[in-house]
Structure formats: structure tokens, C-alpha cells
């Protein structure tokens, strides 16, 4: 795959390393796939970003497709090397990335953004951003991690995604993609450095930011719909759901899904 042009955003990056090297292509299949290809064929420095104007096969969680109109939204994958993080604590990456996106949106939406477990960002009951993290392992620790982020910015109509929203739809005006990339890079680096030092802060902020926390909602569990109450997440990232008898049980990503 073409390595892309080196593109510097119009706005100054206030980071040490995140986004300092940014590759850009008008169109790719997936920024995550592009980043993975570059990691395998050459040395990629930590914090390198891969941006695209359009993705023809954008990837979401659970094998879903991430749809985005060309040049309307922020589509980026960052390469990190969190080799300090044990595999059993890799949910820390999800926490820090989700909070970084929320940090960006809080400037524009004044604390309206919430985190729908595990890492979708919602405004009210609509999805404004999604994350796909793909990591390699080195023994019992993480190796390289590709942090794929899609943030809806200027798009007004989302075909086949009725629960989607964007900055344009929420506040009546869009945003400059370069500026938002600069802001996201800053907050992502800040949260990443926090992850290196103090995961408890990330844990508590993630908990406080959860979508429909302590509310009764419908969840699909083992292909059956159940009314459950979201009681947060445990240290390894399983959602804690309370059933009608007051029992709280943990569920993994492929065991439970909220029905909206």
C-alpha cells in the first residue's frame, strides 16, 4: 500500500509525539489496515497517525462496517506501543481512548457526550464516534496497538445508520478536521501518559461517563432480551449487569449488547 503523503495539520500540535508524524491519503480501505501494513513493512514511531479522507471498508466493533461520507469526518488510526500494559489490563486502552474523545467533544457539547460500553461515544441516544483497537502481544504484555477512531463531524445524513449523529447535527455547525485532529492528538497523548502512571483516575472517570449508568435497559444476552441495570465495569472491562433479582454478574464484549 502507498505510504501516503506526510501531512502537517494547519493547527499547531501541542504534543510530544502523538500525531507529529501523520500520513494522509484521500482514500484507503481502512486506516487500521493501512497502519498495520506499515508496521509490518517498516519501523513506525510511536504516535504516528494515519489519516484518510475516505474509507471504502472502514471497520467497526463486532465486525461491523464504519460508514462515512468522503472528507466529512475525522478518520484516523494512531500507532502506540503500550508494552508496559499487561494483557489482562488492556481494557485500560479502551478507557483512555474513550475519555480522550470525550475530552474533545466536551469543548463543543458541554458534557453531553457519554461512553456506551465498551467504547462508543454517544450524545443523548445517538452515536457520534466509535473506536476499534487492534493490538499485538509480546508475552504477557501488549506490543503494538492500532487505535482506530471515527468521529462524525460535518456529515448530516447517515444512510443505514439511523442512530448516528455528528457535531454539525448537534450544534448546527461543523468543524475543521485538522483542528479536531490536533485536539484529539493532544487529549489522546494526555490520557495515554495518565495510563502509564495512574489507572485509577481513568477508571473512575470512565465509570462516571458511562451511558445509561444505573439505568434499567434492554440487553441482548445469549440471544435473549433481558431488562438489566448497568452497574459499571470490572477491572478487566466486563460490564456489570444487575438482573431483576438484584444479582450482579459480569459480561464480556461478545456476551452482552445493549438494545437501543
Per-residue pLDDT at 135 exceeds 60 = yes
Percentage of the chain beyond pLDDT 90 is 82
Average pLDDT for the chain: 92
Please compute the mean of the pLDDT values over residues 148-167 and round it to a whole number: 93
Q: Which of 28-42, 59-73, 158-172 has the weakest average pLDDT?
A: 59-73
Please compute the mean of the pLDDT values over residues 50-67 and round it to a whole number: 72
What pLDDT, on a 0 to 100 scale, did the predictor assign at position 21?
A: 94
What pLDDT, on a 0 to 100 scale, did the predictor assign at position 106?
A: 97
Per-residue pLDDT at 63 exceeds 60 = no
Per-residue pLDDT at 26 exceeds 80 = yes
Q: How sure is the predictor about 1, in pLDDT bands with cuts at 50, 70 and 90?
A: very low
Residue 6: Cβ within 10 Å count: 9
Task: Quick: pLDDT tens for 3-19.
Answer: 677 776 777 899 999 99
Q: Which of 11-20, 53-62, 125-134, 146-155 has the weakest average pLDDT?
A: 53-62
What pLDDT, on a 0 to 100 scale, did the predictor assign at position 59?
A: 59
Task: Quick: pLDDT tens for 156-165.
Answer: 999 878 899 9
pTM of the model: 0.94
What pLDDT, on a 0 to 100 scale, did the predictor assign at position 68?
A: 83
Per-residue pLDDT at 62 exceeds 60 = no
Q: How sure is the predictor about 199, in pLDDT bands with cuts at 50, 70 and 90?
A: confident
Amino acid at each position: 500500500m502507498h505510504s501516503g503523503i506526510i501531512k502537517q495539520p494547519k493547527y499547531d500540535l501541542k504534543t510530544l509525539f502523538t500525531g507529529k508524524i501523520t500520513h494522509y491519503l484521500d482514500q484507503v480501505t481502512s486506516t487500521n489496515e493501512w497502519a498495520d501494513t506499515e508496521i509490518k513493512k517498516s519501523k513506525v514511531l510511536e504516535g504516528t497517525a494515519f489519516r484518510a479522507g475516505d474509507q471504502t471498508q472502514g471497520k467497526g466493533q463486532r465486525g461491523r462496517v464504519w460508514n462515512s461520507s468522503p472528507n466529512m469526518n475525522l478518520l484516523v488510526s494512531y500507532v502506540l506501543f503500550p508494552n508496559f500494559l499487561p494483557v489482562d489490563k488492556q481494557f485500560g486502552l479502551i478507557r483512555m481512548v474513550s475519555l480522550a474523545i470525550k475530552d474533545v467533544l466536551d469543548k463543543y457539547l458541554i458534557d453531553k457526550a457519554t461512553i456506551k460500553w465498551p467504547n462508543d461515544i454517544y450524545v443523548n441516544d445517538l452515536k457520534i464516534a466509535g473506536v476499534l483497537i487492534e493490538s499485538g502481544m509480546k508475552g504477557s504484555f501488549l506490543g503494538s496497538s492500532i487505535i482506530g477512531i471515527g468521529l462524525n463531524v460535518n456529515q448530516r445524513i447517515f444512510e443505514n445508520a439511523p442512530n448516528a449523529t455528528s457535531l454539525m447535527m448537534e450544534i448546527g455547525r461543523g468543524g475543521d478536521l485538522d483542528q479536531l485532529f490536533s485536539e484529539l492528538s493532544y487529549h489522546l497523548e494526555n490520557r495515554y501518559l495518565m495510563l502509564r502512571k495512574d489507572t485509577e483516575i481513568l477508571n473512575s472517570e470512565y465509570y462516571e461517563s458511562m451511558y445509561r449508568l444505573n439505568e434499567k435497559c434492554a440487553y441482548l444476552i445469549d440471544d435473549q432480551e433481558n431488562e438489566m441495570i448497568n452497574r459499571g465495569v470490572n477491572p478487566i472491562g466486563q460490564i456489570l449487569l444487575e438482573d431483576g433479582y438484584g444479582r450482579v454478574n459480569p459480561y464480556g464484549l461478545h456476551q452482552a449488547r445493549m438494545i437501543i
